[in-house]
Chains A and B, each alone.
Chain A
């Protein structure tokens, strides 16, 4: 069963313990200065964005059909069966197509390093594989971030909206965006207040490139044959012309004698 995370902004108190737990889990430094940063980066994989008195967590959405994994030429990024989208630096060659392709701007780069890699939330893939929940869900004191089976979390999100229509926006961010994501967000105020794009297509992004790429195996023999055929025809004409000229020359010679 594919796992997921449900973040309910209406329950969040902005204590940032998820940020701290995430930093510890990923071996990253965490202090007041980093806590004040509201943008994710190579050294801050999740952040709680504050807008007026509302909060919103930003982290990798772990798409069901992720653009980053689809574009990675070497398969360094992978969607695992359990849900997390993981990254393997030993495969990466640093083309950064994942960063260009991600609709949420999630993958970040270690720009300052001479031997850089991509950094992103990997949904604590090791913990998840061991049957544990993510560090952020485990630490959350108010249950704003919960971890579980995606299907169950989706049902829970629908139930919350249904039971408290006045509290929630009738939109589960991540239910259908770019084909659905393993991380889902609930909010009482519009998602674009926090810089989340709400005009995203519901179609999984890899389909856009796959519809072209998938034709290439058919295209190669057809186009190759066409080129070979044109060569054959255009050069045949030449042979005929040459033969005719030869014949004519022979004929003229014969006539002259």
Chain B
């Protein structure tokens, strides 16, 4: 249960170094402009900050809506104990995406403009609204955790009574903007390489967001068990692994059908710059994780699940970077690699994500109480008996045991 002191000191040092470098790069970015702080150019108006911080950030936060939909809407109770960490991840993810956007926008102080200057024909306009609204919804979905911590029972009761509406709104908004990040690229039929340009781009973005949501949940549960001394909820992760198999299979088959109907299957076997990145992406994101998870022995083991999830995450991160960068490089005639300052800023946001998650996990009731604490908790929370969360966490094990 206790964490070795050495490890924490090491990561604290790493964190500190990244933060100091990040502050320096922030200074360069805001006082000397995008030209001085990035390798962006007229050919590459979008780089690492859009490709990773925004596109991958939103994707990696997809566990929030995937798990709340499963638990709250589809009423799959055995996943209940892992909903809170995924909501925390999602909320954090979106806050960091918004912060990263402030770095990438040329005139960040105008970020509120879409509120009064509306162009509903713009996909970016729709994404802006969805992200704005969904971040608000996530704050509300996250609020019970804070309210519980400060024992604000009346507020807690009010929030809980309207939670269904927020959950539905959250799933709706997520579906819209996860797919819309793909729709953004539909305007570039002559720019984006056919490996990635497809009329189905929004569908691929949505399906992969679900896959990543599941993989991210497996990843963060494994990490939490390693660093916070949490007991690993292996039976739940196994079930998530099973769902992940189905989603990856659907994604893979749709990808194949899409390539087949657009007549570009041959391109997959023809060596090219794009082909290498595409193969890397498809093996990491779909083929290897799928092959791994189809083997019962791997699917049942904590390490196997963890490894498959990590590969899947890396694969879909590659996918987003391919869409944002690799896929347009030849069309605009050039290569883009991020400047060190861009990389440092991105590293800063990743580090902040881990650090804030760690702090929240330490000070807020993110994880369900261990069994022994249950009765105490029940007494402390008004109307706990009617709270599905607690009833469910007790039910979870027996329900699953029969599986």
Partners in one complex: yes
What is the interface of chain A, defined by CB distance below 8 A to chain B? 41-42, 67, 70-76, 91-97, 99-101, 103, 105, 108-109, 111-117, 197, 199-201, 205-206, 208-210, 212-213, 216, 219-220, 223-224, 227-228, 230-231, 234-235, 237-238
Q: Does A227 contact B33, Cβ atoms closer than 8 Å?
A: no
Q: Does B106 contact A97, Cβ atoms closer than 8 Å?
A: no
Q: Does A228 contact B168, Cβ atoms closer than 8 Å?
A: yes
Q: Which residues on the B side are within 8 Å of A206 (C-beta)?
A: 121, 187
B14: CB under 8 A from chain A?
no
> Are A220 and B172 CB-contacts (below 8 A) given A93-B107, A112-B33?
yes
Q: How many residues of B contact A (CB 8 A)?
A: 56
Q: CB-nearest residue of chain A relative to B119?
A: A75
Q: Which residues on the A side are within 8 Å of B31 (C-beta)?
A: 114
Interface centre among B41, B118, B121 (most CB of A within 10 A): B121
> Are A70 and B121 CB-contacts (below 8 A) given A112-B33, A208-B189?
yes
Q: Does B122 contact A72, Cβ atoms closer than 8 Å?
A: yes
Q: Which residues on the B side are within 8 Å of A94 (C-beta)?
A: 105-108, 110
Q: Does A230 contact B106, Cβ atoms closer than 8 Å?
A: no
Instruction: Tell me, in angstroms, the Cα distance from A109 to B42 when the chains sit together.
Output: 6
Q: Does A92 contact B46, Cβ atoms closer than 8 Å?
A: no
**Chain B interface, DSSP helix/strand/loop, else mixed:** helix
A178 vs chain B, min Cβ distance (A): 9
Q: Does B119 contact A227, Cβ atoms closer than 8 Å?
A: no
Q: Does B332 contact A105, Cβ atoms closer than 8 Å?
A: yes
Q: CB-nearest residue of chain A relative to B188?
A: A101
Given contacts A208-B189, A212-B202, 14 further A-B contacts (CB under 8 A): A70-B119, A73-B119, A73-B125, A75-B118, A94-B110, A100-B46, A113-B33, A209-B183, A213-B123, A216-B126, A227-B168, A230-B74, A234-B74, A234-B75
Q: Which residues on the B side are within 8 Å of A105 (C-beta)?
A: 42-43, 332
CB < 8 Å neighbour of B73 from A91, A97, A116, A231: A231
> Are A74 and B114 CB-contacts (below 8 A) given A92-B107, A227-B168?
yes
Q: Does B42 contact A99, Cβ atoms closer than 8 Å?
A: yes
Would you give 11 A-B contacts (Cβ < 8 Å), ordered by A? Answer: A70-B187, A73-B117, A91-B110, A92-B110, A93-B107, A94-B106, A209-B186, A213-B123, A228-B168, A231-B164, A235-B75
Q: Does A116 contact B122, Cβ atoms closer than 8 Å?
A: no
Interface centre among B113, B124, B184 (most CB of A within 10 A): B124
Q: CB-nearest residue of chain B relative to A178?
A: B190
B326 vs chain A, min Cβ distance (A): 14
Instruction: Tell me, in angstroms, the Cα distance from A112 to B35 when the chains sit together.
Output: 5
Q: Which residues on the A side are within 8 Å of B73 (C-beta)?
A: 227, 230-231, 234
Instruction: Tell me, in angstroms, the Cα distance from A113 to B107 when the chains sit together.
Output: 11
Q: Which residues 11-60 in B have Cβ within 8 Å of A in the complex?
A: 30-36, 40-43, 45-46
Instruction: Tell me, in angstroms, the Cα distance from A216 to B125 when the chains sit together.
Output: 13
Q: Which residues on the A side are within 8 Å of B171 (C-beta)?
A: 227
A119 vs chain B, min Cβ distance (A): 10
Q: Which residues on the B side are within 8 Å of A200 (C-beta)?
A: 190
Q: Does B189 contact A92, Cβ atoms closer than 8 Å?
A: no
Q: CB-nearest residue of chain B relative to A206?
A: B121
B242: CB under 8 A from chain A?
no
Instruction: Tell me, in angstroms, the Cα distance from A73 to B120 when the chains sit together.
Output: 7
Q: Which residues on the B side are within 8 Å of A42 (C-beta)?
A: 42
B191: CB under 8 A from chain A?
yes
Q: Does A74 contact B74, Cβ atoms closer than 8 Å?
A: no
Q: Which residues on the A side are within 8 Å of B184 (C-beta)?
A: 97, 209
Instruction: Tell me, in angstroms, the Cα distance from A96 to B46 when the chains sit together.
Output: 7
Instruction: Tell me, in angstroms, the Cα distance from A97 to B176 when the chains sit together.
Output: 19
Q: Does A231 contact B106, Cβ atoms closer than 8 Å?
A: no
Q: Which residues on the B side are within 8 Å of A116 (C-beta)?
A: 33-34, 106-107
B175: CB under 8 A from chain A?
yes
B111: CB under 8 A from chain A?
yes
Q: Which residues on the A side are within 8 Å of B122 (C-beta)?
A: 70-73, 97
B258: CB under 8 A from chain A?
no
B72: CB under 8 A from chain A?
yes
Q: Which residues 354-402 in B have Cβ within 8 Å of A in the complex?
A: none
Q: Does B74 contact A96, Cβ atoms closer than 8 Å?
A: no
Q: Does B124 contact A71, Cβ atoms closer than 8 Å?
A: yes
Instruction: Tell me, in angstroms, the Cα distance from A147 to B225 when the chains sit together.
Output: 71
Q: CB-nearest residue of chain A relative to B114?
A: A73
Q: Which residues on the B side are within 8 Å of A228 (C-beta)?
A: 168
Instruction: Tell me, in angstroms, the Cα distance from A223 to B118 when the chains sit together.
Output: 24
A1 vs chain B, min Cβ distance (A): 24
B128: CB under 8 A from chain A?
yes
Q: Which residues on the A side are within 8 Å of B128 (C-beta)?
A: 73
Q: Does B121 contact A210, Cβ atoms closer than 8 Å?
A: yes
Instruction: Tell me, in angstroms, the Cα distance from A105 to B121 when the chains sit together.
Output: 21
Q: Does A93 contact B187, Cβ atoms closer than 8 Å?
A: no
Q: Does B108 contact A93, Cβ atoms closer than 8 Å?
A: yes
> Are A111 and B75 CB-contacts (below 8 A) given A213-B123, A223-B172?
no
